[in-house]
Chain A
């Protein structure tokens, strides 16, 4: 069975400092992994996805994630946080054929001025 675990429920950073949101996955086969962001009162938006083409995936708004099979991790990073990055972030794995997504519990990112 597929699952994801987000290791931090809340992360707080200062504007201009790096962001690290941690995610570990479990999958019985080569997974498809995603990061989605949810701003307050807005819909979920795809940040990036891993589909086995390259282990370092670049997404929108300066975010990127690295797939590490040996560590079963897919951590999300950004070199410099912006106030507009404050939101809820979800690490997601695809459950197999059919595209059913399994979401982590979410990490709330706060950005201090």
Chain B
């Protein structure tokens, strides 16, 4: 079956603009995660959803970042007033059940965001 998909694969924007990054999880996966990977670093957790609700958004860096998952499937990460420091690869992952600590997370290919 299809894996996790993310669109766009690359996004170039100007400082101050608004961007939306989309994630399509594996069908049937109730848990969805967003991570951010800066150059030369490991991914860092941003937020995760269990169904439609954000169960943990402790990794969002500030209130310019927001994510939704209105129907419990597709998720959109929204960044307002982008800054050059937001440039990174944004990764999405899904798993069957987030309550299971050892549940395998399947990652998408990422969206590379560049803020000029």
Binding site for B on A (CB under 8 A): 32, 36, 42-46, 49, 51, 90, 94-106
Instruction: Report B-chain residues with C-beta under 8 Å of the C-beta of A90.
Output: 42-43
Closest to B4 in A: A43
**CA distance in complex: A97, B55 (Å):** 11
Report 23 cross-chain contacts, Cβ distance below 8 Å, ordered by A residue.
A43-B108, A44-B91, A44-B93, A49-B102, A90-B43, A94-B102, A96-B101, A97-B99, A98-B50, A98-B99, A99-B99, A100-B45, A100-B48, A100-B56, A100-B59, A101-B33, A101-B43, A103-B35, A103-B44, A104-B42, A105-B41, A105-B42, A106-B42
Indicate if B79 sits at the interface (CB-CB under 8 A): no
Contact between A99 and B105, CB atoms less than 8 A apart: yes
**CA distance in complex: A15, B35 (Å):** 33
Q: Mark B73-116 against chain A: 1 for CB-CB distance below 8 A, else 0.
A: 00000000000000000010101001111111111111000000
Main secondary structure of the interface of A (DSSP, over half): loop
Instruction: Report A-chain residues with C-beta under 8 Å of the C-beta of B45.
Output: 95, 100-102
Closest to A51 in B: B102
Q: Which of B42, B91, B98 contacts A98 (CB 8 A)?
A: B98
User: Which residues 25-50 of B sit at the A interface, judged by CB distance below 8 A?
Assistant: 31, 33, 35, 40-45, 48, 50
**CA distance in complex: A54, B108 (Å):** 29
B10–chain A nearest beta-carbon distance, Å: 11
**CA distance in complex: A99, B35 (Å):** 13
Q: Which of A32, A42, A49, A103 contacts B42 (CB 8 A)?
A: A103
